[in-house]
Amino acid sequence: MSLELPAVRPQRISSRGRGTALILVSSVCFGSSGTIAKPAMLAGFSPEQVAAARIGLAAVVLVVAAALFRPRLLRVRRAEWPVVLGYGMLGVAGVQLCYFVAVGRLPVGIAILLEFTSPVLIALWTRFVRGVRLSRVMWLGIGLAMLGLALVAEVWEGLSLDAVGLLAGLGGALCSAAYFLLGEHGAATRDPLGLVLWGMVVGAVVVCAVSPPWRLSGLDAVTDFGPWHPPVWLLLVAVALLSTMFAYGLGTSALRYLPAAVASVLGLLEPVIATASAWALLGEALSWVQLAGAVVLLGGAALVQYVHSRQSGQAQPAVGQESPASAP
């Protein structure tokens, strides 16, 4: 699979604010998925069924919308298929399935922490594969973000390790890193919405093979969601549109303006949103340690963004000149 990127990507330099806003809103959308989907699981749906419903429905909506309003998004050049397939299988289906296996065998906090080690993997890729030297302050910001994540996840609660669960959690981290790296490459060579569309189609095929959607039943069952009592099907529609279609679309679009190493750290806002929304709508406890962890995590993410902004401002590449950050 070729990951050769175009030499010039000036959008990053001129639209850092736009990229940051996109990835932060995407993280909010992603972070809401657990809170929206959990009532459906409490009503008897398995995590795999919820994943199949959210990805499958998002794929159908995107294909229909593109066919009606932007047919060019449905076209994929032969050279683009490796990235599209990798994005769909790893960044869409792989992240979901690995996380669900990890949650089934490990405490939720450990599973979340393992998946969200992806910024470290991306930083290592950037340093040793792309050959881009990261400053000590950047590494400090990544370290603070990971420490804050560990506090938010309260990884010491019910600590127990299972070999299969551990491998699944690390697999989720690799798939999450692939989502950012392949998304960064795909967004540079084609419309990000086209990449998300076909990524959803590929992901839907993979996930639905594991959990066929025709086995779904009880969609009209009423469940509790904060002060409301919606049917399960409405929650599945919400998680498909808000937490899947919009989340992936905004997140992948952000990679036109931010490198994967920065976007992945800013994406750590997701577990903070997940914890806060579960506290607000589902009544799940939120400890002072988790609040402190959220502050540390956000501080680390802000530090990474600050360093990136300074480096970008000092080293803006001229048009036609290759930037080290755009290397594969």
Domain that holds residue 281: 13-218+232-312
Per the domain annotation, does 295 fall within a domain? yes
Per the domain annotation, does 5 fall within a domain? no
What is the number of domains present in the chain? 1
Q: Which two tokens stand for residue 174?
A: 């690799």
Phi, psi of 46 (to 5 degrees): -80, 160
Per the domain annotation, does 96 fall within a domain? yes
Residue 101 has a CB neighbour count (10 Å cut-off) of 20
- pLDDT tens track of the chain, all 328 residues? 444 444 334 344 457 789 999 999 999 999 888 889 888 888 888 888 889 999 999 999 999 999 999 999 999 999 999 999 999 999 999 998 898 888 777 766 677 778 888 888 898 898 888 888 888 888 999 999 899 888 887 777 766 667 888 888 889 999 999 999 999 999 988 899 999 999 999 999 999 998 887 788 889 999 988 889 999 999 999 999 999 999 999 999 999 999 898 899 999 888 888 888 888 888 877 788 888 988 898 888 888 878 877 776 555 443 333 333 333 3
Per the domain annotation, does 325 fall within a domain? no
Q: How far apart are CA 15 and CA 2, in angstroms?
A: 27
Q: How far apart are CA 178 and CA 167, in angstroms?
A: 16
Per the domain annotation, does 238 fall within a domain? yes
Per the domain annotation, does 6 fall within a domain? no
